[in-house]
Amino acid sequence: MKLEQIDGFPLQEPYFDGKTWVSPFNFLEDVRRQMQLPQKVLIHDVTLRDGEQTPRVSFSVDEKIALAVEMDKIGIPSIEPGLPVLPEDREVIRTLSQMKLNARITPLCRVKQEDVDAIIACGANGMVLEFGINPYLVKYAYRMTVEQLIEDIIRFSNQAKNETGMYVEFMGWDAFRIPSLDYIKRFFGEILERGSIDRITLADTFGMAHPLTMQFIFTKLREWFPGVPLGLHIHNDFGLATANALMAVACGADEIHCSFNSLGERAGNAATEEVVVALEHLLKVDTGVRLDGLARVSQIVAEVSKVRPGRNKPIVGEGIFEIESGIVIHILRMFQQTDLGKGALLPYPPELVGRPDVQLVAGKGTGRNYVEMLLAERGIQATEEQVATLVRRIKDMAIILKNALPAAVVEGLIEEVCGTRAE
């Protein structure tokens, strides 16, 4: 069957390519002209550092090295392996820096002399120099002045650049609770003018920014510091991390800090798998990451961390490609008879992110379409009455089990109702 226009409205690139079908409104001229999208977004993965700060999570040296190698295989371009103040992390940083991976090894570096010296000694080719820049934090938690902090950032960034030529990114955390735009402009302006900073990154440490706030702040940064690469580090305390990451990119940020399975403090960081797929799929912005390897790395991280994503976790949840609802299965069945195929019912094809195909499950939501499809696949002839009886029996059993029915239970019901055993 040839796919035809409906009421004169054709499906076309970039929102439709025969396999994927996303919202065409993402690509309307009125929408796109509000964006300052970079050609490519750098994914800076913090699983091995911020992810390990998840309570009850601990990685060994060998585990960190193995995870970094897996990330490198799928094209993660920048990996944050830990803190140089820790002896185990120094070993990880040193080992990874000597392995000549494609990924840049970019450890977190406190604004301290011993951290800077350790990163240089380890041979890392980059660092994320970081400090909380909220003036209340600087005064009451660290007992120092903002002027002292600025001078230290300038001094340490210059040292790292002059001694090794390494990439230096400065990340100011707790940046979104500062009650002064002028303060942010002055702070970053001074370190950019006198320091050796390749990129400035703002951290929404507590995930408190509204998407329109994110738009406003990054538009201001782009206005204040034209040509300076911008990054975002963000947590998911209000469930806004991925949305705000996309908003920052739409306003010119070209780096996002994120972690696999959203590991990290409290509600975690923006999830690497979510950010990558959303950028590539919804905005058509290149990340250089192999999407079909995301599920594998997610599963390895889950095994090592002992923190398993929820079944309905976007991209990597075990249950997101299971379908039970009779209404949905009916639509799926109809789409399969057209050139649109079953992909028209999905947000993205499972194989895009390295996942197995859609699985239909028998449960309380089961309807006639599922049973007819199941029987047809098994080559079993059944009357309308038998189909209706089988639907009812499946629903009743699902209520008892409080779950989808195991395959053996379904086969048993088919044999009881239809008088033949499913193959």
The torsion of the CA quartet 128, 129, 130, 133, rounded to 10 degrees, works out to: -130
The token pair at 391 is 């639907």
Q: Tens digits of per-residue pLDDT, 18-69? A: 888 999 999 999 999 999 999 999 999 999 999 999 999 999 999 999 999 9
Q: What is the maximum span of the chain, computed from C-alpha positions, in angstroms?
A: 83
- State the pLDDT confidence band at 2, using cuts at 50, 70 and 90: low
pLDDT at residue 339 in the model:
86
Residue 132, phi-psi category: left (phi > 0), alpha (psi -120 to 50), beta (remainder): beta
- State the pLDDT confidence band at 137, using cuts at 50, 70 and 90: very high
User: Domains plus CATH for the chain?
Assistant: 29-305 (3.20.20.70), 322-418 (no CATH)
- State the pLDDT confidence band at 308, using cuts at 50, 70 and 90: very high
Q: Tens digits of per-residue pLDDT, 198-254? A: 999 999 999 999 999 999 999 999 999 999 999 999 999 999 999 999 999 999 999
Mean pLDDT of the chain: 94
pLDDT at residue 17 in the model:
87
pLDDT at 423 over 80: no
CA 202 to chain CA centroid, Å, is: 18
pLDDT at 420 over 70: no
Those residues whose C-beta lies under 8 Å from the C-beta of residue 122, and which sit 6 or more positions away, are 84, 90, 93, 94, 97, 107
pLDDT at residue 1 in the model:
44
* Count of CB atoms situated within 10 Å of the CB of 316: 28
pLDDT at residue 397 in the model:
92
Average pLDDT, integer, range 246-269: 98
pLDDT at 4 over 80: no
pLDDT at 422 over 60: no
Q: Render 87-152 in DSSP notation, one character per residue.
A: HHHHHHHHHHHHTT-SSEE--EEESSHHHHHHHHHHT-SEEEEEEE--HHHHHHTS---HHHHHHH
CA–CA separation, 324 vs 338, rounded Å?
21
- In three-state secondary structure terms, 235 is strand
Q: In what order do the strands lie in the sheet with 255-258?
A: 104-105, 78-79, 42-45, 255-258, 230-234, 199-204, 167-173, 126-132, 108-110
